Amino acid sequence: MYVRSNKWDQAYQIITRYLPESEYTQLYIDEARKFEAEGRLKDAERMYLTANEPDLAINMYKKAEQFDHMIRLVHKCRPDVLKETHQHLGQTMEMKGNLKQAEHHYIESGVWQYAVDMFKAHE
């Protein structure tokens, strides 16, 4: 009843009490995918995080090219790979020709030398 009426907080209280973790985790992931398909990314993010699947939310934002939200989640949930994420985004932005964004991500990753080399290569 709560799921059908999108009252997820109330549903979560009931679900966690009576369903095994694997079942309610899958329920939340399925709902998150529906929200993602509808373009409701914030709702999908909330569902993924409730299901304890931050990587799915991070990948969702990556596919949607909403890199600010992606970085926010990486910083919050996967701080150990934040520098590598910035470096990868820098390389991606450089290949797309978005040099200012590439520069930003290179600097955030601590490899400012890549930004210098990039600007030299692109005159």
How confident is the model over 78-98, as pLDDT tens digits? Answer: 999 999 999 999 999 999 999
What distances in angstroms separate CA 79 from CA 4, 45, 54, 98, 100, one per listed residue? 35, 18, 12, 25, 24
Are the beta carbons of 69 and 41 closer than 8 angstroms? yes
Residue 2 has what pLDDT? Answer: 75
**Model-level pTM?**
0.84
Are the beta carbons of 3 and 31 closer than 8 angstroms? yes
Are the beta carbons of 118 and 102 closer than 8 angstroms? yes
Residue 123 has what pLDDT? Answer: 78
Q: Render pLDDT for 53-75 as a digit per residue (tens, 0 to 9).
A: 999 999 999 999 999 999 999 99
